[in-house]
Amino acid sequence: MSALYQLIDVGHRYGGREVLCVPDLSVAAGAILGLAGPNGGGKSTLLRLLAFLESPAVGEIRYQGQPTLGREYDLRSEVTYFAQEPYLLKRSVRANVGYGLTIRGEADVRGRVDAALELVGLDPGRFAGRLWHELSGGEVKRVALAARLALRPRVLLLDEPTANLDRDSAELVRRAVVAARETHGVTLVISGHDQTWLRAICDDMLWLRDGTIAAPIFSDGHSWPDAAAQTADDRRQP
């Protein structure tokens, strides 16, 4: 697979403190890349850079082989970011999922909304007419994901998509994002702490600690730091 993203000597800072240092990273088109590691390790920052929501303090990000500096706003139409704490508009489920499609003037909004809801395991007949405040926490998260899947982006960036979800809901999320790759060729970058879930879904994984890529994690899992090490890392975070 060809490289969709290339990061070259990328660094980022918040308040003068370096939070990310990535000398070299490529993300292949159509891949599912996992980001693991302790809290504060740089996963969310990296996702925001890949989403073109921020520009790196130093270095260069290339997308489809071209520099992205100054083109971030236009490129956002190809990339969708799913934050750790997604929120819904104070509208119905159908209006939430179809909002981005309507803004973009897409055709068959109703059909794409229904298809996206089905992908995340929500029956359109039961859920499309519900209001935002009639949903459980897990349903809110799945509706927010459906809104992003409905856009059929080229890249879907997921920050802790299974946090606070039960096992069944997490499995529905897994099926939905895999289907997005298989059906529409979506490239996925996913951060998470659930090692089993990430191993089941990702082609490749990276371990981030203190803003750097500490180790690749191979398909056999042999370089994944053990649970005790991860717990110790988390305790060291502020």
Q: If pLDDT is split at 50, 70 and 90, which confidence band does 196 have?
A: confident
Q: If pLDDT is split at 50, 70 and 90, which confidence band does 235 have?
A: very low
Region 188-203: mean pLDDT is 91
Whole-model pTM: value is: 0.88
Range of the domain at 49: 3-236
Region 209-230: mean pLDDT is 62
Report how far Cα 206 is from the mean position of its chain's Cα atoms: 14
Q: What CA–CA distance (Å, rounded) separates 134 from 140?
A: 9
Region 129-151: mean pLDDT is 95
DSSP 205-218: EEEEETTEEEEEE-
Q: What CA–CA distance (Å, rounded) separates 60 from 218?
A: 26
Q: Is the pLDDT of residue 229 over 50?
A: no
Lowest-pLDDT range, 1-10, 89-98, 152-161, 213-222? 213-222
Q: How buried is residue 82: exposed, middle or buried, by Cβ count under 10 Å (0-12/13-18/19+)? A: buried
Q: What CA–CA distance (Å, rounded) separates 40 from 149?
A: 27
In this structure, what CATH number is given to the domain that contains residue 31?
Answer: 3.40.50.300
- Residue 68: name the closest of 134, 160, 4 by CA: 4
Which pair of structure tokens corresponds to residue 124? 């359109």
pLDDT of residue 135: 95
Q: How buried is residue 136: exposed, middle or buried, by Cβ count under 10 Å (0-12/13-18/19+)? A: exposed
Beta-bridge partners for 61: 7
Q: Is the pLDDT of residue 16 over 90?
A: no
Q: If pLDDT is split at 50, 70 and 90, which confidence band does 225 have?
A: low
pLDDT of residue 2: 83
pLDDT of residue 217: 56
Q: What CA–CA distance (Å, rounded) separates 64 from 72?
A: 13
- What sign has the CA pseudo-torsion 59, 63, 65, 71? negative
Between 219 and 70, the higher pLDDT residue? 70
Beta-bridge partners for 127: none
Q: If pLDDT is split at 50, 70 and 90, which confidence band does 221 have?
A: very low
The domain tally of the chain equals 1
- Are 72 and 51 in contact, with CB atoms under 8 Å apart? no
Q: Which H or E run contains 106?
A: none
